[in-house]
Amino acid sequence: MLNVMIVDDEYMLLRGYRKIIDWAALGLEIKITEQNPLTALLQLQETPIDILISDINMPELDGPSFVAQAKEIQP
């Protein structure tokens, strides 16, 4: 199974992603869902992630900047 992280500042979307997609059927497991991209970066240091799904517009850190920093932690 591949590990997935979803980062989105909207709580209802994070809940919805878990419910509308049959992750196991795709060979995926959601390891982390996080509303705050800065917290997500800290979690990336602890948990190996194969797929990262990120919102573009977040108040703490925009999506492209978040992904760039995430790549530095886990290329």
CATH classification of the domain holding 54 = 3.40.50.2300
As for how many domains the chain has, the answer is 1
Confidence (pTM): 0.91
CA–CA separation, 41 and 26 (whole Å) = 25
Segments forming the whole domain that contains residue 23: 2-73
- Alpha-carbon separation of residue 63 from 13, 28, 36, 70 (angstroms): 15, 22, 11, 10
pLDDT tens, residue by residue, 41-70: 999 999 999 999 999 999 999 999 999 999
3-state SS string for the chain: CEEEEEECCCHHHHHHHHHHCCCHHHCEEEEEEECCHHHHHHHHCCCCCCEEEECCCCCCCCHHHHHHHHHHHCC
